[in-house]
């Protein structure tokens, strides 16, 4: 790993994000930016040199682009499994603002996931989930990160998951 030891988790200010999205949907201002800092507002990509065109070509080999947009979004719309990739660029398309992928955990072939992890390894990137948990881009570390997640709990016992979810409200 290029940067040595990585922490287990970075701070995500969930309550601040909820307030931000409420404010965002109430305005017509698409340029509205959060007024707080956390792991999601930090621009991790600004100092990293990535050939965006080449990255897009790599992703194009793995998954098809979403039919409903001209943006850099890929989606397995007509496939058995539901995978997707989103590549957000800054306003001048100089660097990546955000790079996300989501895999269908019912896909036991792991073809999509392994391909995305290979891209991450080739570029010395690490993975961060929605809660700020970090891991190296390999199946075993990712499996540890997924254990106990909402997705894992749902796949193991959907009825229990929904019962627990309704009890939280």
- Tell whether 2 is covered by a domain: no
Q: Give the burial class of 120: count Cβ atoms within 10 A of its Cβ; 0-12 exposed, 13-18 middle, 19 or more buried.
A: middle
Whether 65 and 126 share a structural domain: yes
What is the reported pLDDT for 165? Answer: 80
Whether 97 and 130 share a structural domain: yes
CA-CA distance, 87 to 100, in Å (whole number)? 7
Dihedral angle of Cα 112, 113, 119, 123, to the nearest 10 degrees: 170
- CB within 8 A of 158, min separation 6: which ones? none
Confidence of residue 43 (pLDDT cuts 50, 70, 90): confident
Model confidence, pTM: 0.76
State the total domains in the chain: 2
- Tell whether 119 is covered by a domain: yes
CA-CA distance, 65 to 78, in Å (whole number)? 11
Whether 96 and 156 share a structural domain: yes
Tell me the residue range of the domain where 33 lies.
12-42
- Tell whether 33 is covered by a domain: yes
Whether 92 and 131 share a structural domain: yes
């Amino acid at each position: 790993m290029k940067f040595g030891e990585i922490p287990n988790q970075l701070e995500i200010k969930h309550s601040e994000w909820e307030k931000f999205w409420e404010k965002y949907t109430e305005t017509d201002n698409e340029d509205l930016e959060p007024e707080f800092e956390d792991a999601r507002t930090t621009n991790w990509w600004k100092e990293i040199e990535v050939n965006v065109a080449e990255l897009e070509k790599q992703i194009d080999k793995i998954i098809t682009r979403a039919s409903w947009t001209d943006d850099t979004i890929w989606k397995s719309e007509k496939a058995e499994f539901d995978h997707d990739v989103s590549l957000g660029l800054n306003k001048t398309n100089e660097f990546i603002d955000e790079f996300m992928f989501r895999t269908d955990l019912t896909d036991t072939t792991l073809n999509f996931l392994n391909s995305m992890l290979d891209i991450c390894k080739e570029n010395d990137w690490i993975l961060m989930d929605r809660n700020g948990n970090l891991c190296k881009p390999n199946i075993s570390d990712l499996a540890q990160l997924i254990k106990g997640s909402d997705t894992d709990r749902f796949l193991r016992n959907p009825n229990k998951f929904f019962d627990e979810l309704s009890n939280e409200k």
